Amino acid sequence: MKKCVGFLFLLTLWMLPAAGPAAAVDEQSSPVVVDEMIVTASRSEQQNEKVPAQITVLTAEDIRASGAQSVPEALQNLGGVIVTDLNGNGFNQQVDMGGFGETASRHVAVVVNGRKINPIDQSSINFLSIPIENVEKIEVLHGGNSVLYGSDAMGGVINIITREATAGVHGWGEAGGGTHDTFKGTAGLSFSEGRFGGHVGAVYYETDGYRERSEADRKSAYAKLFYSASDMLDLSLEANTTRADYEYPGGMTQSQMAADRRQAVNLEDEGESQEDYYVLSVRSDWGRLGRLNVDLSCKNYERQDTMVSWDFPAWGYYGYYDYDYTTLGANPQYVLNHSILGRDNRLTAGIEFYDTDYDAWNGDTATQTQINTYDHEQTSVGFYVQDEFSLVDNLVLNMGARYEDFDTTLRSSLGTDKDLSENEWAWNLGLAYIYAPGSKVYFRTYQAFRFPKADEFMILSTGAVNEDLNHETSMGYEAGVRFVGLDKRLSANARLFSFDVDDEITWNDFSNQNENLDETRHQGGELDIAFQATDLLRLFGGFGYTDAEFTAGTYDGKKIPLVPEFKANLGFALNFDFGLTYRCQYNHLGKRYAGGDNDNAYDKIDSADTVDMYLSYSIKKIELFLNATNIFDEEYHNGYNYGPGYESYQYRSAYILP
């Protein structure tokens, strides 16, 4: 599709002295790799090179330099990560890791400070609830890890770590505007004195979007307070609220696209949502006896969708949906660092408990009165243990296991009354060989799983429940290498992976329900490189190859739809010592089959090649920057779906914040 050149012009004022944009040039001139401590692979701090997995770390400075306005946008430059935006306004973004296509968002575990935020239903992960301005860093674990993160962690794990308070008192503000009447404003305050500290902030964002009726806005406020009661005990309380309003322009047919790419097909479809969450964290350090961490969380999510295009009361289909669910979580974790036979050893054990009460109803859009009601509940309890043992000084053995019990209760006014219970084991085994400081070669094998979502079991329009639907399991193998050299000015991460999935769940248009597929295989490779050639010039690039196909049954040998085989990006950044930064990047997304085209009977979606640019200038406490995406107006779209008797196209509407 034709994506207009977009730009973002921001004025950032740092009201009190702080480490901020003014220091960006010095930071970018430093080595591309620092001594990385990560938490995702063991749920507590660990050196990256000791982990038998590929972990990509994006710092706050990396995110800012990319111009990203959401977590998915920050990830789209990674070689093995595919990001789609179905509405074209940033309000329905999905992340694919491992090549799952249409069900991508259900195969990636997303956690914020260790707390999972994957929804109970098939809706996409609500990335709007995570203001990118409040993100300190993002850690991406490539490949499955159900041992530590349970269901959904089949393609990868995205761990979002929010900002901590800094010493003293610091404030900041930011305002910007762009094409399509886009505006963004943010402000915050950080403070710390003695044993007490915290930070608060707020974000407002609005855009009319590229297409007609793709207007959207969001308002977020967040706060985190901490108190260090003693050298052994730390307490923190985190709160976040996000409200969003958005329009759905709808999918277009091929002829509609040819007539006008910017038109809206659905002239009255729209929605709004509200999400609030609270997290109380307790960190206790008992010295040689280990550490005990406990997180208690509560999340409430409300959404109302007015989908006039779905309204067919005579057929029993209603377009107004009202969702309200609350999730309570409790996550105690124990970590013990204790040598065995003189060798370093770390034991991690924990429990993950989540209980979600899901209430929903639908009715006709004209009166918005209740017709059908739904009352579901899902409870999961997972017990996990993982051990990391140094066989020798530079060889680390990692092994772990998890058992999870999963219960679903489905109730509806349509006569549904079902109780479903499942359970599953996960395990992993890996070795990491540290051949140089910061560098490693690793191999691992694992089993992961995913339990069905509530509305994968039940069809909301009829109340029918597929009791024969099984949960998914996967068996995977992975090998990779991480290299850090040239005084940490060069960093390269490469991995090869292959995993088979049994009972992968997908929608069947003909039977009108979710069903289990025969076996599928996902394999490929990824490469990400960064090189600080000089203090002025930084080079970077990423490449991903994914071969996802059906390996048994009706579609044996066919490719899984909406999974491109190739993805690549290549770019450079110039960081001048007087405060000017210029960045240019080329992006390639390969061809893939349309959604629903399991037979691979239709033409592939065309590949896309785009170029983005970023320019910033920092002086003292002020930063000005300009962000432009798809500067050559490449025509492309995110994908389309084939179904019985129709073709429906979902386009990536041009939007200005990449």
Residue range 120-144: average pLDDT? 88
Percent share of the chain, pLDDT over 70 = 90
Residue range 523-538: average pLDDT? 95
pLDDT digits (tens, 9 = 90+) for 190-203: 999 889 999 999 99
- Band (66; pLDDT cuts 50, 70, 90): confident
Least confident of 403-412, 459-468, 635-644: 635-644
Per-residue pLDDT at 33: 62
Please answer whether residues 405 and 383 qualify as being in contact, where contact means their C-beta atoms are separated by less than 8 angstroms: no
Question: CA 109, 114, 118, 124 torsion: positive or negative?
Answer: negative
Q: How many Å apart are CA 108 and CA 155, to the nearest integer?
A: 5
- Band (19; pLDDT cuts 50, 70, 90): very low
Q: How many Å apart are CA 419 and CA 154, to the nearest integer?
A: 25
Our measurement of the distance from residue 345's CA atom to the centroid of its chain's CA atoms, rounded to an integer in Å, reads: 31
Instruction: Name the pTM for this structure.
Output: 0.90
The DSSP annotation for 138-156 comes to EEEEES--HHHH-TTTTSE
- How does the average pLDDT of the chain come out, rounded? 87
User: Does residue 67 surpass a pLDDT of 90?
Assistant: no
Residue range 496-522: average pLDDT? 91
Question: CA 512, 513, 514, 519 torsion: positive or negative?
Answer: negative
pLDDT digits (tens, 9 = 90+) for 546-562: 999 999 998 999 999 99
Least confident of 51-55, 80-84, 380-384, 619-623: 619-623
Per-residue pLDDT at 623: 77
Per-residue pLDDT at 589: 94
User: Does residue 404 surpass a pLDDT of 50?
Assistant: yes
Higher pLDDT, 425 or 263: 425
Cα-Cα end-to-end distance for the chain: 15
Residue range 348-355: average pLDDT? 96
Please answer whether residues 124 and 62 qualify as being in contact, where contact means their C-beta atoms are separated by less than 8 angstroms: no
Higher pLDDT, 127 or 240: 240
User: Does residue 564 surpass a pLDDT of 90?
Assistant: yes
Residue range 227-244: average pLDDT? 94
Per-residue pLDDT at 559: 96
Residue range 304-312: average pLDDT? 90
Q: How many Å apart are CA 81 and CA 101, to the nearest integer?
A: 12
Per-residue pLDDT at 651: 36
Higher pLDDT, 35 or 351: 351
Q: Which two tokens stand for residue 185?
A: 């404003």
Q: Which residue is it, tokens 């599953």?
A: 424
Task: Go through the domains of the chain in sequence order and give each one's CATH number.
Answer: 1-11+39-657 (2.40.170.20)
User: Does residue 603 surpass a pLDDT of 80?
Assistant: yes
Q: Which residues contact 7 (CB under 8 A, 6 or more apart)?
A: 178, 179, 626, 627, 628, 656
